[in-house]
Structure 1
């Protein structure tokens, strides 16, 4: 039997990006550039911080991935790139599907 998949979601009030004007073409929240500065920590903490700051959903089975330690990430980059860098030293893989990043082992 497959374990349930949990989704890290964001609250509407958690995201704000005044650098994107209303006349800008629609850019996925996962691909908008942002300043990121996260320490090395558990994946679930990193995923929550990235999701809450961006509006990008991160879908994963936290029973399998939540306690895995990921790398520190800093710089001006997209949430997708930040997540990929954080996962680099692990066996976890990330796939983007629209406004959702799917992380699996």
Structure 2
């Protein structure tokens, strides 16, 4: 009798289906706490990238030595990068999955 119950349970679980649709998760959109106050933009971007898992594209030869703004608070990696580059003349765009591009206009 126990074998029949186990077989019925396996059949029922095999027939059930999930009604949720898988959603791609973007590491750049997850919020976390930041306390970043480096004197160079390359260090700030590296810290945000390592903490979030979000890839940040930037030409560090051109922008790495710029002085970023401190990044403090609970926010996404996108918001953190935008806070870091605010007022520097650089732009931060999030147009690819798990990636932020920092560019000069």
> Considering only aligned residues, what root-mean-square deviation do their CA atoms show, in Å?
1.4
**1:56 alignment partner in structure 2:** 54
Provide the residue aligned with 1:38 in structure 2: 36
Query: Are 2:67 and 1:69 aligned?
Result: yes
Deviation at 1:98, TM superposition (A): 1.6
> Please, which moves more after superposition, 34-43 or 77-86?
34-43
Matched, 1:28 2:44: no
Deviation of the 1:40 alpha carbon: 4.6
Larger helix proportion of the pair: 2
The count of residues paired between Structure 1 and Structure 2 equals 82
Kept after mapping to 2: 8 A contact 1:40/1:73: no
Q: Give the structure with higher Rg (CA).
A: 2
Runs of 4+ in 1 over 4 A off after TM superposition: none
1:103 aligns with 2:88: no
| Alignment deviations for residues 10-49 of structure 1 (CA, whole Å, 9 cap, x no partner) | xxxxxxxxxxxxxx94421100000011115211000100
For 1:25 and 1:34, locate their aligned partners in 2 and report how far apart those are by CA, in whole Å.
20
Classify the secondary structure of the residue corresponding to 2:87: coil
Q: TM-score, normalised by structure 2?
A: 0.73
Unpaired runs of 5+ residues, structure 2, are 1-21
Unaligned runs of 5+ in 1: 1-23
Structure-1-length-normalised TM-score: 0.73
In the alignment, the residues of structure 2 paired with residue 73 and residue 55 of structure 1 have an alpha-carbon distance, to the nearest angstrom, of 17
Q: Which has the higher contact order (CA 8 A, sep 6+)?
A: 1
The aligned residue for residue 78 of structure 2 is: 80
Higher strand share: 1
